[in-house]
Amino acid sequence: MDPAVLGGKLASSLMASLVRKLFAPDAPGAGLVDRPVRLKSLVSFRGEQRRLGEKEIHVLASRLVEAATDVPGEPPFPPDETTAVIEALVLRLLALGEWNMDDVQAVSLGHRELARRLAHRASPATGLSADADYFLDSATEWACLHILEHFTRRSAFVARTLVEQTRRQAELMAKVDQLLERTPRPGSRDHAFERRYLRHLADRHDHITIYGIDLRDSPDRWPLEVAYLSLEATTSEERPPEEERPPGGPVSVQLPAEEALLAHDRVFLRGDAGSGKTTLVQWLTVTSARDGLDIPYVLPLRTLIRTGMLPAPAEFLAAVSCPHTPPEGWTERVLTAGRGLILVDGLDEIPAPDRTRTRDWLLALIHAFPGNRWLLTSRPTAVRPDWLAGEGFHELAMAPMRRPDIATFVHRWHTAARAPEYEGPLLDSLHTQRDLARLATNPLMCGLICALHRERRGYLPTGRKELYDAALTMLLTRRDLERGMPTTSDLGEEAQLEVLQRLAYALVLSGRTEMDAETAEGIVERCLPSIAVPGDARTVLQSLLLRSGLLRQPAAGVVDFVHRTFQDYLGARYAVEEGHLDVLLSHAEDTQWEDVIRLAVAHARPRERAHLLKALLSHDVPRLTLLALACLEHATALDPAVRTAVESRASALIPPGTKEEARALAAAGPLVLELLPGPAGLTEEAALGVTVTASVLGGEEPAGALAVLRRFRDHPSLEVRRQLAGTWQRFDTEEYATEVLDHLEREHLFLTCKTAEERAALARMRPWHNLAFQGPQRAEDILAAVPAPEAVELLDVQGNPLLTDLAALSAFGSLRVLRLETCPTVAGLDRLSAPLTSLTLTGVEDLSGLRSFSGARYLSLSQELPGADLTESLPVDAPLEFLFLGRNTTDSTGLRGLQHWSGLRTLSLGPLTTELTVGDWQAVVALPELTELHINAEIIQNFPHSVELMPVLPGVETLRVSAMHGAEDVSPLVDRLPGLHSVTLQSYPGKLIPEARYAGVFPGVEINLDQR
């Protein structure tokens, strides 16, 4: 019977009575005597004060057993064993009197252990059945439970317990002190060593080094803190299904590479040569060493493998030549505590046979010391994709650098090199020169480009072949040698180049950037006899994939070059060596071959260069002429006559002199961006043409176009600045605002915002005085985009049905010019507090407040006006000097009442929809200050009778006819405007006005053609 079940059958009062009779009453103060109070002195059936004998104990045991069995249901054991059970229980209770243990010790044991010891001390019960034996044990446990409860309620028990605890603590402290005296304190030694070790790691790894290039003035190493930037790693994760999305599946996720170990304890990081794997290891080492939370161990495999046996934890530091010797067992203590950050770098840098035992070594460490963090790095093709997947490793791949990463790297590199003057020109080159930009996609190549650009005093764009040669030498041989890498291949640099350029040429001919591995092996197989290298094609190809840094395997069974630039460079090299110039020229019309042809000119001999360039000019096609011009930067030695011919032909195209020429030039493609000059030395027209060309190419090549436009941001010409401000939508909103717009001189220039992103960028710029907002935008959103509304003098709002009350724009307290176009629900013209002098309204239904603009000098209206006279709609107190009346404006009012504004100097009549009458013209005659008249060509074309009714206006000196298609008859105006000094004929957009047609129409008057 379980003690809990037994307890349910025995009343606590019965057990309490039994226990009280078993033990003598408390003796005051007895709990604090020096000597412990033993159980045998507490029982009531021993000693001089004995109150119970064995007979009385027998009676108590009998009562307990009877109470447990005298209940309904099946008895706990056969009734004929009752006497034997009672006898056995009596013996166990009497054993309390034989025990030399105090009450505190008994409570420490617990009731089950106390019952077990009582059973062991008493004579064993024999002849009992299993049920009876089980009942006896349960009854003993239940009795012991109440005995211990009785002890804890004794008045002296708590005090004695505290005394006993104090004695034990004092004894323990004394023993610990003795131990510390005899044994050195490893914790203090560990702490002191860790301070020295972490300081050593922070100093040793706090720099970046470029291996494999010779530099005279540029640093080959610089501080890690200055040059390091956060690169991204890509991983595949399962995406949970969500509403309105496809079912969950693997998706590509990018995260900062240094955060990889925050999310996962075990990471296998793959990356191409120079992608930043080792630099990431350095960064993790330095940051961990400085925050002191983890203890980093940097274990480059190329160093460890030299000794043959991979090191045990105790040998980690010695294996990497650390000058500090740790206390004995220190590394094991760190790893056992889960404080280790183990950074194993360069799986690809050891021979293939050693990689399996490296994995076994790594997994043995992980299993022996769980709870630590582990990072293993490798190039992508060193081992199969699932090499560590079954061991809990999360696999990531270093992502290529993005354009902002490249800009950040270049800035930090030049900061470290103390050469800020070279930073801007290099960034412009990286943006405009596509092949150079394709090369700069990882820290290694960015560092090489920065170093060579500074070494050549900023003239890298004229020595691109030198850059490629240096890069190839660095990647193929010198980088591994200078890093102390063992040679794992018999392929020398020239042999590698021979194989690589044949692979590249095959890709160029096919118009592809990838080939299957079987095809690549076939090309290598045919190349082997010429390079006399032992081994089969597969071995050679695998060696190139692993160590060349130029080839990679983006997917199983597929081979490509890490950069398209290297493919084009090596393909061009092979084409020139084999004399395939005609093959190159046959593809000149294909834009995919542009870089190949340019690089072929770099590889060619002078006579071959001349042949290529003459052939390009012979097509007499602008794009090929520009391609020939681009080739000149690679032609260090060339027939002067050929160079002159190329430059002469190209000078007719660059710089463009008009907007039409600029747009035609842009049709040649992004190649043009590298050739655009300026702004120094350009006329205002040429500068405008260059910015138009770059703007048109902004959609196709935004980075290169932005680099060109950035050069013109300080140009004084208003037309150039207008072009720069008007092409914002072709580029990244924030970047263009930062790089171009925020630098523009604001005078006479306005900026248009169409989106929330543009409003956000506007809010971060210097104040603009002239602003336009197009499309549905709430008044509060417009105000939020203008932190200094009091600086705005011109506000143009177009196509905005959300603007309802102009009072919401009252913060624009300095407005001089307001234009509202197609804002049908707007009201409250009379609630604007700004001192407006110019107002333009088109498609505004509520004109009730128009008459309140008493300060208006310029008024433009393109909608029907209420009333029968202009004085019923327009502000009669306004000193108008300019008035434009557009479509439908005069349908009800005509020009009646116009003479009221006697100070009017310019009258502009737009595409009216009703005939002008004699009375209308008489109102015009009555304007004494009128000197300028604008007439839309639609009036001449659609209402010739209105022109015939025009009286003589001798005071008009300037005439402007707008929106002409080129066939209008303007001769009837000659006799009616005898005082003309100037005539401007403006074309309808896309139409051309023939100059000869109008040359003699106005005798003795200067005629200007404004072609739109």
Residue 702, judged by CB atoms within 10 A of its CB (0-12, 13-18, 19+), counts as middle
Report whether 920 contacts 893 (CB < 8 A): no
3-state SS, residue 109: helix
Range of 200's domain? 194-235+254-399
Report whether 289 contacts 296 (CB < 8 A): yes
CA 703, CA 652: separation in Å to the nearest integer? Answer: 26
Q: How long a stretch of residues is the chain?
A: 1012
Q: Which of 367, 180, 202 is nearest to 298 (CA)?
A: 202
Report whether 724 contacts 741 (CB < 8 A): yes
CA distances from 95 to 149, 198, 301, 464 (A): 19, 64, 70, 101
Shared domain for 120 and 215, answered yes or no, is: no
Shared domain for 126 and 81, answered yes or no, is: yes
Q: Which of 868, 869, 924 is nearest to 899 (CA)?
A: 924
Report whether 813 contacts 837 (CB < 8 A): no
Q: Are strands 794-798 and 982-987 parallel, antiparallel or unpaired?
A: unpaired
- DSSP letter at 248 equals P
Whether the link from the prior residue into 679 is cis, omega within 30° of 0, is: yes
Amino acid letter for position 888: N
> 266 or 260, which is more confident?
266
Q: Which of 829, 870, 883 is nearest to 853 (CA)?
A: 829
CA distances from 956 to 605, 943, 1001 (A): 70, 21, 17
Q: Which of 214, 268, 206 is nearest to 393 (CA)?
A: 268
CA 439, CA 30: separation in Å to the nearest integer? Answer: 92
Q: How far apart are the first and last CA of the chain?
A: 108
> 251 or 953, which is more confident?
953
For 973-1000, the pLDDT digits (tens) are 999 999 999 999 999 998 999 999 998 8
Report whether 307 contacts 320 (CB < 8 A): no
371, 399, 427 — which closes off a domain? 399
b/e code 355-364 from CB counts within 10 Å (16+ = b): beebbebbee
Q: What is the pLDDT of residue 317?
A: 94
Shared domain for 60 and 125, answered yes or no, is: yes
Q: Which long-range contacts (CB under 8 A, 24 or more apart) does 816-819 make?
A: 817/770, 817/793, 817/858, 818/794, 819/772, 819/794, 819/795, 819/860
CA 152, distance to chain mean position in Å, is: 67
For 631-665, the pLDDT digits (tens) are 887 788 899 999 999 989 988 899 998 888 898 88
Q: What is the pLDDT of residue 761?
A: 96
Summary count for the chain: helices (H), strands (E): 44, 24
User: Poorest-confidence range of 617-626, 632-641, 796-805, 848-857?
Assistant: 632-641
Task: Give the model's confidence band at 8: pLDDT under 50 very low, under 70 low, under 90 confident, else very high.
Answer: very low
The answer to whether position 724 is within a domain reads: no
Q: Is the pLDDT of residue 486 over 60?
A: no
Q: What is the pLDDT of residue 461?
A: 42
Task: Give the model's confidence band at 787: pLDDT under 50 very low, under 70 low, under 90 confident, else very high.
Answer: very high
Angle formed at CA 273 by CA 269 and CA 277, multiple of 5 degrees: 35
For 386-445, the pLDDT digits (tens) are 788 788 898 888 877 887 888 888 888 888 777 888 888 888 888 777 667 777 777 777
3-state SS, residue 270: strand
The answer to whether position 553 is within a domain reads: no
CA 263, CA 253: separation in Å to the nearest integer? Answer: 13
b/e code 421-442 from CB counts within 10 Å (16+ = b): ebbbebbbbbbbbbbbbbbbbb
CA distances from 20 to 408, 544, 821 (A): 86, 92, 103
Shared domain for 290 and 358, answered yes or no, is: yes
For 744-769, the pLDDT digits (tens) are 999 999 899 999 999 999 999 999 99
CA 935, CA 645: separation in Å to the nearest integer? Answer: 50
Rounded (to 5) percent helix, strand, coil in the chain: 50, 10, 35
Shared domain for 141 and 200, answered yes or no, is: no
- DSSP letter at 982 equals E
Q: What is the pTM of this model?
A: 0.58
Shared domain for 382 and 409, answered yes or no, is: no
CA 104, CA 164: separation in Å to the nearest integer? Answer: 8
Shared domain for 395 and 289, answered yes or no, is: yes
CA 397, CA 119: separation in Å to the nearest integer? Answer: 68
Which CATH number goes with the domain that contains 375? 3.40.50.300
Percent of the chain predicted with pLDDT > 70: 83
Number of domains in the chain: 3
460, 477, 504 — which closes off a domain? 460
Count of CB atoms within 10 A of residue 641's CB? 10
Shared domain for 159 and 103, answered yes or no, is: yes
The answer to whether position 414 is within a domain reads: yes
Shared domain for 208 and 122, answered yes or no, is: no
Q: Is the pLDDT of residue 861 over 90?
A: yes
Q: Which of 827, 834, 868, 863 is nearest to 848 (CA)?
A: 827
Shared domain for 213 and 318, answered yes or no, is: yes
Report whether 301 contacts 350 (CB < 8 A): yes
Q: Is the pLDDT of residue 7 over 80?
A: no
The answer to whether position 642 is within a domain reads: no
Shared domain for 365 and 224, answered yes or no, is: yes
The answer to whether position 375 is within a domain reads: yes
Phi/psi region, residue 372 (left: phi>0; alpha: psi -120 to 50; beta: rest), is beta
b/e code 460-498 from CB counts within 10 Å (16+ = b): bbebbbebbebbbbbbbbbbbeeeeeeeebebeeebbbb
The answer to whether position 571 is within a domain reads: no
CA 881, CA 870: separation in Å to the nearest integer? Answer: 15
For 726-750, the pLDDT digits (tens) are 999 999 999 999 999 999 999 999 8
CA 488, CA 126: separation in Å to the nearest integer? Answer: 82
Q: Is the pLDDT of residue 589 over 80?
A: yes
Q: Which of 874, 875, 927, 884 is nearest to 904 (CA)?
A: 927
| Tokens standing for residue 730 | 């072709």
Shared domain for 227 and 338, answered yes or no, is: yes
Q: Kindly report the three-state secondary structure assignment for every residue of 292-354.
A: CCCEEEEEEHHHHHHHCCCCCHHHHHHHCCCCCCCCCCHHHHHHHCCCEEEEEECHHHCCHHH
Report whether 227 contacts 409 (CB < 8 A): yes
The answer to whether position 446 is within a domain reads: yes
User: Poorest-confidence range of 56-60, 154-158, 252-256, 857-861?
Assistant: 252-256
Q: What is the pLDDT of residue 64?
A: 77
Report whether 842 contacts 863 (CB < 8 A): yes
User: Poorest-confidence range of 132-136, 163-167, 751-755, 937-941?
Assistant: 163-167
Q: Is the pLDDT of residue 30 over 60?
A: no
Please list, in sequence order, all residues whose beta carbon lies within 8 angstroms of the beta carbon of residue 18, skipping any fewer than 6 positions away.
60, 63, 64, 143, 146
Torsion angles phi and psi, residue 979, rounded to 5: -95, 15
The answer to whether position 586 is within a domain reads: no
Q: What is the pLDDT of residue 971?
A: 94
412, 429, 460 — which closes off a domain? 460
Amino acid letter for position 798: Q
Task: Give the model's confidence band at 210: pLDDT under 50 very low, under 70 low, under 90 confident, else very high.
Answer: low
Whether the link from the prior residue into 534 is cis, omega within 30° of 0, is: no
The DSSP bridge partners found for residue 892 are none
